[in-house]
Structure 1
Amino acid sequence: MLCEFVRYTVDLTKKTKKTAFKGEWLKGFVLIPYFIWLERNGRKFEGVYKSVEHCFAQVKSEISCQALVHSGVAISILDLVTARSLGFSGVQRRPQKIFEVFWCPPQARWMKLNLDGCSIGNPGKSRAGSILCNEKAEVVENFRKFLGTRTNFEAKFLALMIGIELAKHHNVQRLWIECDSVEVVTLFQKMRSPWIARQRWMNCVSYLEDVE
């Protein structure tokens, strides 16, 4: 098992310079043989036996204590979750550029629907949300909902469908929709729907045909 770990670590560090937590992998490369050596000496000379779980906890604790702030390449959500489960302190993503975005209220007698959806893991646990505002920038309706295991695209399209259903419920006749997904916008412009929302789409077709 140790040989397999060593081989995997060496291959991983050779294949890419963007490996997240490369330093922590190298610490494990050194610490695991060291703790195996300690356990071997304890069993042979002192008659003290520790469980595998205890040895692993020691390695994990030692790596966590020595882990530095990760300020290299941007890491994925999966890397962040792994780091937190292992107890790596000070883990953060590379600061990203901040873009200023202006939100404009709709024209008189119009309603504006802003929506978004996301998935952790893509596919993974997903949520969707939207907000419906009037010409005075007042919130008429909003929602946030857990969607189960979905892809990013599915989450965004379902957010669109739920938002349209809210607009239909409020009998909105002039609707302005904003979404950051090109795929969702393209399908909507072509009046098409993926199979995941086909029934909901059919229930909204007649309403959409009457909306400006």
Structure 2
Amino acid sequence: MLSLICFQSLITLSQIWLLAVMSILWIIWKSRNDVKFNNFVISVQRAIGTVMAWIREGGLLIKAPMGNSILDVQILHSLHLKGIPRRSTKVIPVFWHPPIADWIKVNTDGLSKGNPSIAASGGGLRNYRGFVKGFFGLRLSIQTAFFVELKGVILEVSFAWEKGWHSL
């Protein structure tokens, strides 16, 4: 579940999970000692409440910014914690302009986690009215960024050619 979140959003969540695991281990150890040495048994509800209280208190000390994902907000909200929002990046508006009549516009993009690393490529084709004529997404093995971009263009041009769209 958490592997789908970008690494930056894990900074705050990993600290909270670490705090939770440490709190659980401590309450188990303390409960065992209370039973063995004091003949006192703590209820499961009280143990859970104690752990949740420690997480809330410890969470107030975490100063790392949270990720700006819905999952981060939901987890922090369920623990009654307020996250420090990450500063937004500069937003640059990008406008799509249609191709001339009876032409197809090809847009591709490739990405890799490193160079070389695990990679993927994707793209789409639109006509002059803006209607989507086709699109694709492809996971590639470990590749360089140049190969990934080139592979995306080759796949889109091949797809368009097979469909009879020769004006790209």
2:95 aligned to which of 82, 102, 108:
102
What's the counterpart of residue 37 of structure 1? 30
Q: Answer yes or no: is 1:24 the counterpart of 2:16.
A: yes
SS at match of 1:20: helix
For 1:162, which of 148, 155, 162 is the aligned residue?
Answer: 155
Distance in 2 (CA, whole Å) between partners of 1:159 and 1:134 is 19
**TM superposition outliers: structure 1 runs of 4+ over 6 Å:** 57-60
Q: Separation in 1 of the partners of 2:144 and 2:86?
A: 21
Q: Greater relative contact order (Cα 8 A, min sep 6): structure 1 or 2? A: 2
Aligned-pair CA distance for 1:62: 5.5
Contact 1:110–1:174 (Cα < 8 Å) also in 2:
yes
Corresponding residue number in structure 1 for 2:128: 135
CA separation in 2, counterparts of 1:88 and 1:169? 48
Structure-2 residue corresponding to 1:116:
109
CA contact 1:107–1:135 (8 Å) conserved in 2? yes
Q: CA-to-partner distance for each residue in 1:41-75, whole Å, 9 max, x for gaps?
A: 23333386xxxxxx9x889755655546x885475
1:162 maps to amino acid: L
Compared with structure 1, are the counterparts of its residues 144 and 59 closer, same or farther at alpha carbon in structure 2 (3 Å cutoff)? farther
- Flag the 1:98–1:39 CA change in 2: closer, same or farther, 3 A: farther
Q: Quote the Cα distance in structure 2 between the aligned partners of 1:152 and 1:143.
A: 19
RMSD of aligned C-alpha atoms? 5.0
Distance 2:49 2:148 in 1: 41
Deviation digits for residues 99-149 of structure 1 (CA, Å, limit 9, x no counterpart): 211111113443211123456x6656x65432111223232222345x276
2:73 maps to 1:89: no
TM-score of the two chains, using structure 1 as the length reference: 0.43
Letter in 2 for 1:24: I
Count, aligned residues: 143
TM superposition score normalised by structure 2: 0.51
- In the alignment, structure 2 segments of 5+ residues that lack a partner are 1-9, 42-46, 78-82
Find the aligned partners of 2:51 and 2:17 in 1 and give their Cα distance: 11
Q: Could you list the per-position Cα deviations for residues 23-56 of structure 1 after superposition, in whole angstroms to 9, with x for gaps in the alignment? A: 63885697467423343223333386xxxxxx9x
The answer on whether the counterparts of 1:118 and 1:152 sit within 8 Å (CA) in structure 2 is no
Letter in 2 for 1:43: K
Note if contact 1:133-1:140 (Cα within 8 Å) is conserved in structure 2. Answer: yes
